[in-house]
Structure 1
Amino acid sequence: MSRAEIVVDLDAIAHNVGVLKELAGVTMMTVVKADAYGHGLLPVARTARAAGADWLATTTLDEARALRAAGDTGPILTWLTVPGERYDDVIREGIDLTAYSVAELDEIAAAVTDVPARVQLKVDTGMSRGGASRADWEALFARARAGEVAGDWAITGIWSHLACADEPDHPANDAQQAVFDDAIAAAEAAGLDPELRHLANSAATILRPQARYNAVRTGIASYGLDPAPSIEHGTDLRPAMTVRADLAMVKQIAAGDSVSYGYTWTAPSATKVGVVPVGYADGVPRTGSGRLEVAVGGRRRPVRGIVCMDQVVVDLGEDAEVRAGDDVVLFGPPGEGRPTAQDWAEASGTINYEIVTRAGGRLTRRYIGGSEA
């Protein structure tokens, strides 16, 4: 056991993938971008495949390359490239690329040799981020069809992304889905017949059945974190990540003693404090200073003062029977006094995605359950 580590429960990930696949009832694409949201790309990918993930999805070409290099032979989608990317090896490996523009299609065509590319088209349905704007659809779909006829590629999918799926009543959801339907119709009118049509992220997979089409992309929910924590939906998601550390030091401080940089907290009475050897370099959000809690001895203990680069100070209480070396759970699955990633997100003014994805730095990673344990 390490002095400070991320513990990932692969059985929880397998459970979540299975639950989501059964709920959706369509092709399951598990998103493993950003080192599987901080959980570890390769172990999570293997676990997701074994649990029924039909596709894996990454942001970058390098993430997709790493999956192939590790022996993954199943369908993989990747979607965010920049001008001048190298495509030749990715095409040979049968990885599905995403094109937003005619210029991207031209670059892909230039990289095709003896193996046709696999390409999906992303359309912007109202998020104003990646994807082709409506004004560019005609040219994009025409170029896509011409390349298909020429044998440069197969157009394997058309997709987009929802901006407000975690708010079921937001009017953007209906509006974006209507635009996506228009895009599908325009693609078909251009002679395209993509195998996959996908719009739903984790929140829409759970909350918006009409957005599932014939495939869904589930990211955060695959890791057991709720994509819509303000909505009661009853989906049995099991958080897979626990961040823990050994308590480095326990000391007594007197009433009037102040803690950490800037003296932002002063003890109103005598108390014991503990030093936890992790800080913002390891992903503890500095914005949570004075608001985060951790679990020590099965009880929640407040973080006092400013979160430092390498350590935080927690208030153990005057009567705490705690000593150096005791276990500290920063966050993990609910129960036994543990704060959750959602608790940390709320205390820090962010979302649970950021809490798990930023955990790292000098933390080691250990797996339990599954074949990686």
Structure 2
Amino acid sequence: MASQPGFVGLADAATPDRPDAPAGGVGPPPAMARGALAARSVGLVAALVVLAVMCAVSLAVGTRHIGLGGVWSALGHDDGSENAYIVRELRVPRTILGVLVGLGLGLAGTVMQALTRNPLADPGLLGVETGASMAVVLAFFLLGVTTPAGYVWFALAGAAAASLLVYTLGSAGRSATPERMVLAGSAVSAAINSFVAAILLIHGRTFDQYRFWVVGSLAGRGFPLVWQLGPIIVVGAVLALGLGRALNALALGEETGRALGVRAGAIRWSGGVAVVLLSGTATAIAGPIGFVGLAVPHFARLITGPDNRWVLAYSAVLAPVLVLIADVAGRVIVAPGELEVGIIMAFIGAPVLIVLCRRRRVVQL
């Protein structure tokens, strides 16, 4: 099947006449390779500049507008004013967590799509979100935990347990193929969702607490979550970014990958660990936020082509930009009230993804 421009199959990256052909293929002319590298590097720098701008906007915009001069003054000196408190204690941790959540979801979605060769894969495919939801509901129902700092660890443990169960079922008796992993993830998610729904139906107080978490929000999260969970996302990001070359080799098929020195089982385990660390922690921090892990890798491929090394790098920057845009928009649209970032992301992500799918034919990865 011929690939259309934009959403290119990862297998196309391996053909010798592609600029991104891996070792063993015939490389492009040096001038072409240098030009492609320069263009991608400039694009990545531009994306980082946009991320910096969105961080500044996130610090300045809200129910109480604070100019950039006031933001800078508050960051440099805590004079005890209301503006200083808003910037230092509310917006700074919220912005940092927005970047971390976007980083986690964007990289997790990219790794999931590459591992499963499924262009519609997202962090929920391994049961990460449903596992986190079940653990949060149990924390509400059995232990009465109500604060983000309290239930975040339950969410992370639930995400890890569900992902391990999916992998165990998907690899039982034979190798863990992408198709078996998808089926196992769907089955486990359906079972967990039924269990969660049963608890919510019989316990109204748990439902009242759960519904504020499940919509996805960055509000009310402070510096404790940054220090506690930020390092986990950083570790997961380093692991995911280091998988780019191996994921390119796996796109050629397991036999070819082994010939290139890549151990498919080890890469799948490493990728699964990265997905759990990244999306599990992001979901624990903010609740389930859809479309980030699904749509951002496609945006990145439109810019970079199918090379996973660059797709991962771009996703690590573009996803936080998208999350911050949604968070700031939620503060402005219904000011002085606020819409949760998960709701805004659904409004932004769904139409954009539909347009992309109509304009660019998504082929199998």
TM class, shorter-length: under 0.3
- Higher CA-based Rg: 1
Instruction: Choose between structure 1 and 2: higher strand proportion.
Output: 1
Relative contact order (C-alpha < 8 Å, sep 6+): which is higher?
Answer: 2
- Normalised by the length of structure 1, the TM-score is 0.24
Higher helix share: 2
